[in-house]
Structure 1
Amino acid sequence: MLPPIPLKYLLPLVGLSVSAFVFNTSEFMPIGLLTDISASFGMTPAATGIMITVYAWVVGVLSLPLMLATCRMELKRLLLLTMALFALGQAGSGLAVNFPMLMGARILVACAHSIFWSIAAPLATRLVTRSHQPFALSMIATGSSVAMIFGLPLGRVIGLALGWRMTFLVLAITSALALLYLWRVFPSLTNDSSFSTRDLPALMRNPLVSGVFVLSLLFATAYFTTYSYIEPFLGSIAGFAPETITWTLMMLGVCGFLGSVLFSRFYGHHRFLLFRSGLLGLVLALGCFLPAAAQQPAMIACCMLLGVISTLFNVTMQAELIRHCSLSAAPVAMSIFSGIFNVGIGGGTFLGGRLTGSGLLPDIGFVGAAIGACALLFGLVSYLPHARRAR
């Protein structure tokens, strides 16, 4: 049995988990409010969805440059500045009077996102011993999952009751409070990174690191081709009432929490099983999306499986990346991971938007499953053999 984590390190982990909650709530909250945001600006949901695509692509483009520009900054200071930028962007989103202003504020939030997800996992693992690292990573994943359980649906409830702008303002206040908490409890950590741009080619030549990047791109593209338009799918295709959509999204988030628990418990001894299960489960869940829409219980079950898989596979890939990188390379590798994952988010959202705009909303699950099948094939044929040899 592992010894307990000292309170002085557990409290910062809680702060990182709360921060992960607000960051994930912010990124995906427009998915739950897409119809209302588009209506307020006289736009279609497919046209408004470009906001999610641009956000993700900005993160994809800026993750590595921003990480390299700040990689020698003291880590606590970097974390606090990132949270301050995030809160400012949320306030700007809540005060936006037109769509371009909203886009500008979201781009500001995307810059904060680029840095946060580059340092969150490495910071969590630096606070604990190696034996506690799966638990530390699962806490970050838990914050993300709780965002899906309560953040995204709660943001939708606030948006439906008080207007979508109030949801962003509530996030601004919450992130400001998280900033104050981290200022009080987070320890000063020296940034002894010796990584430079000259080390990038060697990092990219590592077949396990590059394999994680390829898998993350395919997984994110497959998942978000479907997930980004899950609200109009559940309403138009599955015939769910608005309240039922909210509860279904909440159940999806609850199952994301289950995915983080499964990771924490089984990754240490069954990492390859989790890896295969994540990819196979993605293809199964997305492939069943349209058939399951005919029956409400089947549709909810399909969304629940999708929630488990999304968190389980994402945190597994982060753990794999940290396992195969040096301490100095981990933040940069994680920034590339975050960037590539968000390129996948943007690509999936763009593809889903084109399908929706072309009247093919019912088929978004099939398209996502086809891309997921490519990820499964790559994982079984290329990544797993390299990972077994490295073990």
Structure 2
Amino acid sequence: MTATFNRISKTFFQIFMMATDMTLKEWLPILGMTCSAFIFNTSEFIPIGLLTDIASEFNITEAHAGSMISVYAWIVTLLSLPLMLLVCKMEFRKLLLATLALFGCCQIISAISQTFPILLFSRIGVACSHAVFWSIASPLAVRVVSEQHRSLALSLIVTGTSVAMIFGLPFGRMIGLYIGWRMTFVCVASIAFAILVYLAFVFPRIENRSAFSLKKLPKLFQNKALQAIYLLSFAVATSYYIGYSYIEPFLKQVAGLSDQLITATLIIFGAFGICGSLMFSHYYDRRPHQFNILSTFSIAVSLLLLYPSSNNVYTVVALCAFWGMSVTAYNVAFQAETIKHASQDSTAIAMSVFSSIFNLGIGCGTFIGGFICTYSSMANLGYIGGILALFASVYCILRVRKCQ
């Protein structure tokens, strides 16, 4: 245990030393982008922690309330590419600020919605802003820093996702528990508008030099490496969200954890996600293929052990920590793979396709998870997801390696 702690501490120190080489001109916009990633993913994850309360207020089942997650993901899937083709020549600073403005306004609509269809409609608006943001976030991160800091910039963006799991989802859930789930959306909107003001001052003007057009789309899909990345990411996202979309009711009903302990477990899940992001910064450039295989296989192991670990509070918490680290490591690694294998003028479009396919997997995983909860048993979520993740791991070994 001491040796593991020392390795993690050493990694943190090395990443800190890398970060201190960045100039203030690089740090300020990256900080704003990291905060944006935090709030976008907080918003995406919030319904997972509030499913029970939302279902209770609208007098619907948890599986019905979970459709918010599926619809959100499918909207991102359907609209990421069309929206990016629509705005692919827009100057990036204006596009980023407009995306944040739409995001904040839709959060307000979520907070005041009086019926579930209105809430669902507002989530569709948030999904549209999400689709654009995650298409441009990683490409912008590598544009505002020097080449030597690109891996660090990518890891910081994904760290925003992990921080959302640590603070956003659990504290959003706490707000929902104590003063109502609507106030959670109000808080998200407030933070989004604050980030919008900050970025308006510090984010540089970045010309969009993309010469991409609809005619070039077939060529993008003919890229063998991107084909492998997209198929693998769909399988991994589906397997992961079969279990993760219903982690709150699973921990409550199957593992028997209290509300407070569930919140703590979600915090730990996100905290170890930061470790996964740091490991990417430290190890990915050295052995990218091995890193990709290990992160994919670790997700499969986490899912397969989900139910067996639920008999003991310590084992289920430890498993969630390992799971959070694995998922974040996978996410940032395959964003890097997408950028690496896309041409310079198609990076944002390639990322929009990645986001679309990943969110298609989220929607399918949530739908399958809801089907399992309704017609089988919540205890089987990890087994079904884990088997699919195992197939994805084998595919990663056999196919993705050939495309390196």
After TM superposition, the score normalised by the length of structure 1 is: 0.98
Verify: 1:329 aligned to 2:357, yes or no. no
- Structure 2 distance, partners of 1:324, 1:386, is 9
Aligned to 2:297: 280
- Name stretches of at least 5 consecutive residues in structure 2 with no aligned partner: 1-16
Identity over aligned pairs, percent:
45
Verify: 1:216 aligned to 2:203, yes or no. no
- Structure 1 distance, partners of 2:101, 2:136, is 15
Aligned to 1:58: 75
- Structure 2 distance, partners of 1:268, 1:133, is 11
Verify: 1:124 aligned to 2:152, yes or no. no
Verify: 1:95 aligned to 2:112, yes or no. yes
Aligned to 2:12: none
Aligned to 2:177: 160
**AA at the equivalent of 1:140:** I
Per-residue deviation, 1:325? 1.2
- Name stretches of at least 5 consecutive residues in structure 1 with no aligned partner: none
Aligned to 2:40: 23
Q: Deviations over 1:46-76 (max 9, x none)?
A: 1110111000000000000000000000000
- Structure 2 distance, partners of 1:203, 1:55, is 25
- Structure 1 distance, partners of 2:222, 2:155, is 28
2:277 to 260, 264, 285: 260
Verify: 1:373 aligned to 2:390, yes or no. yes
1:293 to 310, 314, 322: 310
1:317 to 334, 341, 348: 334
Aligned to 2:63: 46
**AA at the equivalent of 2:159:** T
**AA at the equivalent of 1:141:** V
Aligned to 2:356: 339
- Structure 1 distance, partners of 2:147, 2:393, is 29
Verify: 1:188 aligned to 2:215, yes or no. no
1:249 to 259, 263, 266: 266
- Structure 1 distance, partners of 2:61, 2:24, is 49
**AA at the equivalent of 1:304:** A
- Structure 1 distance, partners of 2:62, 2:49, is 11
Per-residue deviation, 1:386? 2.0
Q: Deviations over 1:152-209 (max 9, x none)?
A: 0010000101100000000000000000000000000000100111111111111111
**AA at the equivalent of 2:387:** A
Verify: 1:136 aligned to 2:157, yes or no. no
Q: What is the DSSP-based 3-state SS (H/G/I as helix, E as strand, rest coil) of the residue aligned with 1:269?
A: coil
Q: Deviations over 1:205-252 (max 9, x none)?
A: 111111111111011000000000001110110010111100000000
1:352 to 343, 359, 369: 369
**How many aligned positions are there?**
387
Which piece of structure 1 moves more, 191-200 or 64-73? 191-200
Q: What is the DSSP-based 3-state SS (H/G/I as helix, E as strand, rest coil) of the residue aligned with 1:256?
A: helix
Verify: 1:302 aligned to 2:296, yes or no. no
Q: What is the DSSP-based 3-state SS (H/G/I as helix, E as strand, rest coil) of the residue aligned with 1:104?
A: helix
**AA at the equivalent of 2:335:** Q
**AA at the equivalent of 1:226:** G
**AA at the equivalent of 1:52:** I
Within-5 A mapping of 1:9-20: 9-20=26-37
Per-residue deviation, 1:301? 1.0
Per-residue deviation, 1:87? 0.1
Per-residue deviation, 1:360? 1.5
**AA at the equivalent of 1:279:** T
- Structure 1 distance, partners of 2:245, 2:79, is 22
- Structure 2 distance, partners of 1:17, 1:386, is 30
- Structure 1 distance, partners of 2:123, 2:327, is 23
- Structure 1 distance, partners of 2:225, 2:22, is 30
Q: Deviations over 1:343-388 (max 9, x none)?
A: 000000000001011142100000000110121111111111221x
Q: What is the DSSP-based 3-state SS (H/G/I as helix, E as strand, rest coil) of the residue aligned with 2:113?
A: coil
Q: Deviations over 1:24-51 (max 9, x none)?
A: 0000110001000000000110111011
- Structure 2 distance, partners of 1:231, 1:115, is 28
Aligned to 2:221: 204
Please provide the CA RMSD for this pair. 1.0
Q: What is the DSSP-based 3-state SS (H/G/I as helix, E as strand, rest coil) of the residue aligned with 1:369?
A: helix
Aligned to 1:148: 165
